[in-house]
Each structure stands twice: as structure tokens, then as C-alpha cells.
Structure 1
Amino acid sequence: MSTNPVVLIVGGGAAGIELATRLGKREDLDVVLVDRDASHFWKPRLHELAAGLLGDGEEAVPFLAHGHSHGYRFVPGALLRVDAERKTVRLDAVRLAQDDETILPPRELHYDVLVLAFGSRVNDFGTPGVLEYCDMLDSPAQAIALRRRILALALRTAGDPSKRIRVGIVGAGATGVELAAELHHAFNDMHRYGGLDSASKLDITLMDMAPRVLPAVDPRTSETARRVLERMGVTVRVGVGVNAVEHGVFDLKDGSRIECDIQVWAAGVVGHDFVSDLGPFELSKDRRIVVDGTLAARGVAAIYAMGDCAYAPASAEGGIVPPTAQAARQQAEYLAHALPRALRGERVEPFAYRSKGTLVSLGVRQATGEVPSGGKGHGVIPMRGWVAKLLYVSLQFMHRVTLHGWPRAVALWMADGLRNTTLPPVKLH
């Protein structure tokens, strides 16, 4: 049995699986990854899965096989409790989804170092009716369920010009904007390859209480996204919040009502509900675990947090790390170097987040975004069109490189190209 320190990583999202992949190569650590799901899916592509531009399992990375190839162990199960004094975590039982048969009983796992990377969930802001009536995009299962509802509506209304498909999306950040654009693209592909009605039958309303779409980016980037969406026929309603959600209706705070066949909530993120009872952690107002400059949980020994579940300082100058995929990747790379040094008792430099810009997909051949200018004024250079789209696609490619290495990442890219020449780009099932 190995006597190496056990590094237990809870959460196999972008941050967790990249950290496990990097640390799994070391012979002086016993790396264990825990996740409630059996495979990893890169969250920035959930809107493509929901729109039908990805099929079930196409981008899934099975933890068992990946861990076997990259030197870490995978243990399935949902996290219930952290005992910081005994250095153990409690996992829930694992059951078959079909008949609720127990596969694995509740268990305890020991750790020497614990890294929490279990992400976040969509923030409903306490709005009545959101959880009851809205689809969300927190997981592949939710995205697949949304895709099937959309396809069912497309089939049900096909050929009837009197019936429209009304989609309401709350949240004009990256997820909401990308979903609106990809749905427009997907419906045109349904028409081209499946004989269903085109996007001309689609009524999409994108809503946000912020004064513009993509409120966190440069106004020029925001304006580009708005113009592209409106050319697609998307109705943009900004500067107005949602008062309540009913079945088939968004009740807005200005007194108007948006009737919808599909209701999607994509407005911000918040920590999972279970975090409040997870262990002796200091939490932010949005239920994220407060960490110091080295990503160590405040007041608790040998526990770190990263990704969306962490409330982390961006640098010594101030600011908070945003809950984005690029931030999670930077934190995983940082801990891959910092944890072995900390275990050896060496000094560790604090984490410093460096924004590499923002890119938002607006369909198959275009995107918008911005990259840092590199100047002293911290300005940005707006980008649009196919160049921005090329950079956007490269982010997914580099994630694959981290997980699989260059040869397999290139092979997967070539396989994607071959598949697209023989199969419809939209999934009609």
C-alpha cells in the first residue's frame, strides 16, 4: 500500500480534472478524484449540447479510463460532509438511476490534502417559480433534457405556420447569449437536414436586469453581440428584472409578461446549497468557500478550494477571481505546482489571476470578444468574426491538450472534422 500523501480532489470539472491530470503524473503523491458523475464534460460547451449541436457523450471524458491512463484514482460519490479534524470526507451512496439499486454504500475517505472543486449552480436570486418552471444549464443531464424538449416542440409544430416556438432566456451573460445564438443556428440545421421548420419560426427573448448584454465586457463587445443577436431575430430586453416565473410566463418588474414554451434561467452563479452544512468553512454571501492568497480555506488546515466554489482574491492588489473556466484552469495550474511545495514545507507564492480576455460564440462561424491590450491602462482589444471564433475554438482544443496530450488532442480534432462530413451537424434525436 502506498505511503505517499493522499491528495483528494472533490469535483471533476475543468479545475478538478486538470489538477488531477497534472498531479497524477507525480510518483510522490496518491491522487484521488471524487465526483458524483461518471464522466467529465467541459461546461462552456453545455449550450451546444442543449441546442443539439453535440450528441450525448460526444465530449464526455470517463473518469475511470482517464484516471487509469493519467495516474489518479477515481471514486464515485456525492460529497456529504468534511471532517477537518479527522481529515476525512463522507460520501453518499451511489445508486443506479433506473431502479435506485445501491451500487456503493456511504463511505469515508481519508486525505492528507483536500481540494474542493465542486463548482456552483445557477443563481435563482430567490425569484418565485424559477426552480419549478425553468430549465437550467448546470450539467449535461440538464442540457440533454432541454434539447429533447426543444426537439419535441419542433416536431410537434412542424408544418403549421400558425404555431410559433417561443423561448425565453433570463441572463444575458455568456451562457444566455451563446444559447440564443446556437438555437438559431440549430433550427436552421433542423430545417436543412431534417425537413423541420427553420429559425424563422423561432421567437427568442433574451432578458436581463443589467443595462446591456454581456455586462462584464467592454461596451463595444457588448454592442457587437447585441447587433448579431437582433439580426438573428432575437428580442433583447435589458434593464428589467424578473418579478416571478409562472408556467409558461415570465412576469417582469416593469409589468410586462413574456409568454414562452421553453423557459431557461441562466442568470449568474451561486454556491451549492449543501455548502452551508459541509464543514467548518468561512463562506461568502453567495455561499462560496473563502480562501486566502494560496487558495487555502481560511481557518482550516490542509484544505484548498478552487474554481466556482471558491471565493478567492484575484491578487494582492484586490479583486475577486471571477467564476469562469479560464480562472479555474489558472487555479488548477497554480495548485499543481504549489501543493507539492507546500507538502515539502516550502514557501508558496500567492495565486495571481490574469485575465486573458473574454470570447463568446455567436454561431458556427462567428464570435465576439476582447483580449487585453497589454498597455498600462489595462485596456482591451475588441475582436469579432471568424478570428474571434478561431480563438474561441482554440480554448476547447487546449483543454483537450491538458487532458490528453497533443497527439490525442489533434486526433480528436480530426475525428470531429470527419464526423461533421458524414453526419448532420444537429442531433435530431
Structure 2
Amino acid sequence: MLSEKSTAAVRATLPAVGAAIGTITERFYERLFEAHPALLRDLFNRGNQAAGLQKQALAGSIAAFATHLVDHPDERPDAMLGRIAHKHASLGVTAEQYEVVHEHLFAAIAEVLGRAAAPGPNGDESPGRLTPETAGAWDEVYWLMANALIAIEARLHAEQGVLAGDVWRAWTVVGRTEETADCATFRLRPADGAPAPAFRPGQYVSVQVELPDGARQIRQYSLTSAPGSELRSFTVKRVTGAPDGEVSGHLHAHLREGDSLRVSAPYGDLVLDACDAPLLLASAGIGCTPMVAMLEQLAATGHRSPVTVVHGDRSPAAHPLRADHAALTAKLHDAAAHFWYEDPEPGHPASRTGRVDLASVPVPSGTRAYLCGPLPFMRAVRTQLLAKGVAAADIHYEVFGPDLWLAQD
């Protein structure tokens, strides 16, 4: 994978690059959007950019990939790469755009490290200095990562029968259901009348909408319909705060039956593998959407092993797809649902009030766990599952938005 010469150079400069990676990625995005404003308008999430979340995710992925190459020079972190590739594929990222990223990323690295590189007290070079050898080593790191992603994304596009950069298809809204005060489910059918593409429960689609300022912003939403249905459905939570969600707010305010919507082919690596292992499906808030799709698959296939369903929310009224969550669990041969609410209804068990606590929840040996929800929730549940003996390799997760957990095990 990484040459011996480059491994030594990257290892020597990794502390300096790691210390500056936040500044590097910030400068990278400034340069990128100054040269290509359409990327911010039509590809990148403007809310995540404003909050700095995309910068954190990029910094984490670069640092994690470089660290892995240094520690395991003959291996490739395919799990991390696969997760990124699915996101890129759903957005229509093309191979040519990796050239654009390379140009501005390495200009940012040169600018930041060059600024930081001052001679040492004895006139020796700073370990963070960007020498030609160091630049070549990090260039090798970049193209190892980029070429791996390009190859994976090409395979994903081929599996879906779409061309890179042309993942979009027109769909017609055929129904809308208000699930809670801030969540709505939209049901769609292909506008051209052709069959809907196959998907695996747990996968998501990208949705592109044109906003009042002309921007075509993209967001991802988990599919909740049955895989064999001619319809596709997804549930959208209206994002409020600083800033409010541009796309979720637009969909809630404007998308009605009969409207047209641009939707990508389905992607995503958080899917159930065919197995007889006990399962645990844990979610919080809108994170229940991939879990509902998984439960529907398990019910349709007659899954016989134990299934433990865990969900945390503010209240029963705020719990999206609550009825489906409970009813699908009840269809299974050996399953139990455990719902925690911070503000429960009268009569709700005191042991299920507040935040999710698995202390009293049986977790069978050999359980495979799937998590989706806010990062603090998933961290807490993962810690509890590890303490109960669930193997780290058997705990899988999905993140809505930039994956800030990407650099961790």
C-alpha cells in the first residue's frame, strides 16, 4: 500500500499535520468554495458548513486514514472507505472532483504548514516543514484514499445501473402523513412508471430540492418502505435551531401529493446480513427510520432468533413511526420493544423513564447490534453493549450528516 519511504515521512510529520488538520481543512474549504461556488450551492450541505461539522468530518477521515496506513502499511481501512463511498455515490460525486479536491487541499496544506514551518533553535528544520519529500508522501496518501474511493463508488454505481454523477431520477409524491408535530412521511412512485430500484433495509436515498435562492441542496433520508413495494417512503424531521434545516423545512412547508422530487438511487452500508444471530436495534429520535425498515424485513422473512428493540425519545408524541415500531416488533417470533421517554405518559414504567439504560435489558450472547441516532446516544449505547459482552465488531451504526465517529473504532 504505502511505500516505505512515504511511510517514514508521513509518520514523522503526522503529529504536525494532525495538530494543524483543523486549520488545513478550514482553509481548504475556503479555497474550494472561492474557486467553485457551485459546489457549496449544489453539493455540500450549507448548514453543516456553517456549523463546521463537515470540516471536522474531513479532518477526522484524513487523520484516520493516514494513521491506519502508518500503523498497517499493507492494509486498507475498507470499512471506513466503504462508508464514505456510499455517501459520495448518493451525492453523485465524480472522479474528476477528486482532482479538484487535491488541488485545493494540497494548496491549503502547503500554505498552513509553510506558515508554521520555522527553523528550530539550532537552525534545523521544523518537523512540520513541508519539504518536497513530505509533500510527495502526503500526495501518495491522498491518492491511495482517492483512488480507492473512486473504485468503490464505480462499483456501487454499476450495481445500481447508474452513471457516476447521474444518480438522480424524478419521483412523484403520492402521499404524505404527519407522524408527529415535526416529522412527516412522504410516499413516492417513479415519475416514469418504471419499476422502483431495489434496496436493502437500512439504506438511504439523497433528495435534492431547489431552494428560493436557486441552490439545489441535497440531504439523505433512510427508506422506510418494504423492499418489494412499488412505492418508496422516507420520514423527514424538521430541523430547527441555528441554523434551521433548509431542506427539511422546505419539504415540510412545500412538498405535497402530486409534486415532483429528484431522488437518488439507494445507497448505504448499514444493512442486515442474512443470519440467525440475535439482534439488537437501538435508535433515538428520527434514528428509528432504518430500524423500522429492518423490522419490516425481519417480519417478512420470518426471523426466529431473539430481537431486542430499543428506542429513546422526548415523549410518546415525539416518537416518529411509533405505532409501526411497536407493531412490527410484535410480529416477530421472539422480540421485545423497550421504549424510553424523558416525558412519558401516565403509567409508563419508571424504569423506562429518562435516557436509555440497558442495565435491565437482556442481551443474548452473540448479539449483533445496529445503532442510529445522535452521536452521544450511540456512544452511550455502545459502551453499555461492550460492557455486556457484545463484540466491538458486531456493533454497527449509522449517522445522519457528517460522520464525526468515523475516526474511531
TM-score bin (small chain): under 0.3
- Return the TM-score normalized by structure 1: 0.25
**Greater percentage in helix:** 2
Whichever structure has more strand as a proportion of its residues is 1
